[in-house]
Chain A
């Protein structure tokens, strides 16, 4: 961080010479330096508090958002029929225990348009269905309606409903008896009417467009998922093939957490930018007040790298003081919030480390200007408290029209 090209040992010895100077100047200019440390402390506090708040929020949301239930370990869906190839390939896959073809279709009914899911009757067994009346469909020509749909249409078990489907300009129609009202336990297909898969497919000449897959063991779900995804890539499967697992984004309402996070991060980032500007200002002021002593140090033989080490050390000390103060303050606040309010903040080591890195970066960025000005200014300019310029070599710097510092 100190002089480019100079070795570690030289820098270490440099630090030993400038350390007492930096410590002393920290003490004598404690008002200005205190302001800098305060700015750092505030931004550290804001950062750690926000992070703790987000961590708590994230956990709370994660607790509330549960993955939606699926009838199997994986559901493979497609907008078009899956085709025998995919089903056979899946059945042959080593890690797959069962593949159950299913079908999902949008049908016109006497009570309006509705999605009907045709499942293997094994998946429609009573333990997979929450019934409010009647029983689960078991054979062709039987349908179970969601309770709300039935209530809206004034239907009850025993009623007959007409179903029809339009495809390629052809209308296919069929009738079904309402045998029960209720919901399947498969949250992913919530709100759909249920029928036996074979009956539904025969009635409307449908091909399976859903496959319910059970893996041989839970650890292999991912392998099967990759297998299906590779099928899509190889072109062996129809376009629009989708694999849904309990971990799929569509089964989790993740977007909510992400939204809270990104806006909070922006606020924290802004806090640091404002803090940097404030610190830059105070550091620049402290440099302007100290041009003469810095010139004296140069006259006594401190070289530019010595002075850079001196100013950086001073900045680092203030960053460390501010960081410690901010850590203590945020610790106290988090404890107080957790104790006296309903909120639960979660402080993490990661956020503290990040705050430390950000604080040091803040001070180094803010120290750049005084360090550069000190390096470039002639000894005389500093000694005589004259204006100094970022570019001291060219004639434009000496004309002074830009003002300098």
Chain B
């Protein structure tokens, strides 16, 4: 871990290709370019606590490829819940999620995990970097999972950390980084496997205004340069200027969508 950028140990090849992928080309039935890349149809999520809490009520949301969507709403309105349904982190009580033509309801837990591996990147409010690993190793981890070669992993890690301005701190532990720095590393990790869709839950929630703005601008840059689709949950209405569409939620429902063709 001295001169060279340390990204951990060599990983196996092909571990990520067991589900619907052939040499990097995504194989899925019935999906045409130009269709919504991510669709939430009639999504409902009910939690069985007390009399039951309905966190998301019959929400339908189509996300077009390359779109930058902001989800805004008061605390407890179901934004996080909706995002985790879209990312397959939780199962809906009703409705369906379709990512590039693949229905989540048809996938078992391991199938969903393999889908997330290549197609969805997550950024969380509390960064969620793995404390055991360095910044570079955190970024490299998803690539190990899909069996990229060492050289490729090294090249991409360097590229991503450079893009988020964290190359100098590559071999630092997350504990040695500021909140803004951690979130930039987390963004680099979310983008590691070049997912078509990135889901971010209040990525600026724990950052000051300046750092928050920096992270959103970073997303916007990736969105513009690499045509990656972003769905970002936030409290901060001033970020609306970066978004193609702003989805307003209240009490588990989408009450208004601003901007875009829809």
Contact = CB atoms under 8 A, between A and B. Distances in A.
Interface of A: 10, 12-14, 16-17, 19-21, 24-25, 28, 292-293, 296-306, 375, 378-380, 383, 395, 398-400
A399 B12 contact: no
A17 B11 contact: yes
A306 B141 CA distance: 13
B128 A303 contact: no
Interface string B13-29: 11110100000000000
Contact of A302 (B128, B137, B145): B145
- In this complex, the member of B115, B118, B132 whose beta carbon has the largest number of chain A beta carbons within 10 angstroms is B132
Contacts of A12: 12
Given A10-B18, A380-B84, A305 B110 contact: yes
A321 to B, nearest CB: 18
Contacts of A398: 47-49
Contacts of B147: 13
Interface string B78-99: 0000001001111100000000
Contacts, number: 96
B122 interface: yes
Given A10-B18, A301-B114, A398-B48, A17 B128 contact: no
A17 B144 contact: yes
A228 to B, nearest CB: 67
Given A16-B12, A398-B49, A304 B110 contact: yes
B36 interface: no
Contacts of A305: 110
Interface string B153-194: 000000000000000000000000000000000000100010
B90 A379 contact: yes
B68 interface: no
Instruction: Name the prevailing secondary structure of the A interface residues.
Output: helix
A302 B9 CA distance: 17
A289 to B, nearest CB: 11
B118 A301 contact: yes
B133 interface: yes
9 contacts: A17-B11, A25-B132, A28-B131, A28-B132, A301-B114, A301-B117, A301-B145, A398-B49, A399-B48
B227 interface: no
A395 B49 CA distance: 10
B116 interface: yes
Nearest to B146: A301
Given A306-B113, A378-B90, 5 more contacts: A16-B12, A300-B116, A300-B145, A301-B117, A301-B193
B104 interface: no
B132 A303 contact: no
Interface of B: 8-16, 18, 47-49, 84, 87-91, 109-110, 113-118, 122, 124, 128, 130-133, 137, 141-142, 144-147, 189, 193
Contacts of B116: 299-301
Nearest to B10: A16
Contact of B12 (A17, A21, A298): A17
Contact of A378 (B18, B89, B117, B128): B89
A395 B93 CA distance: 12
Given A12-B12, A16-B11, A304-B109, A379 B89 contact: yes
Contacts of A10: 15, 18
A400 B142 contact: no
A20 B145 CA distance: 12
Contacts of A399: 48-49
Contact of B9 (A14, A19, A28, A299): A19
Contacts of B145: 17, 300-302, 306
B49 A383 contact: no
Contacts of A21: 132-133
A304 B108 CA distance: 11
A378 B147 CA distance: 25
Contacts of B132: 21, 24-25, 28, 293
Contact of A303 (B8, B12, B113, B122): B113
B89 A296 contact: no
B119 to A, nearest CB: 9
A305 B49 CA distance: 30
Contacts of B128: 292-293, 296, 299, 383
Among all A-B residue pairs, the 4 with the closest Cβ atoms: A301-B117, A13-B12, A303-B113, A303-B110
Given A10-B18, A17-B145, A25-B132, A300 B117 contact: yes
B21 to A, nearest CB: 12
Contacts of A304: 109-110, 113
Nearest to A299: B122
Nearest to B13: A13
B127 to A, nearest CB: 10
B15 A380 contact: no
A292 B110 CA distance: 19
Contacts of A303: 109-110, 113-114
Contacts of B9: 16, 19-20
B91 A302 contact: no
Given A303-B110, A398-B48, A17 B90 contact: no
B173 to A, nearest CB: 9
A217 B12 CA distance: 67
Contacts of B88: 379
Nearest to B193: A301
B148 to A, nearest CB: 11
A83 B88 CA distance: 88
Given A300-B141, A398-B48, A293 B130 contact: yes
A294 to B, nearest CB: 10
B15 A13 contact: yes
Contact of B89 (A24, A302, A383): A383
Contacts of A16: 9-12
Contacts of B141: 300
Contacts of B87: 299
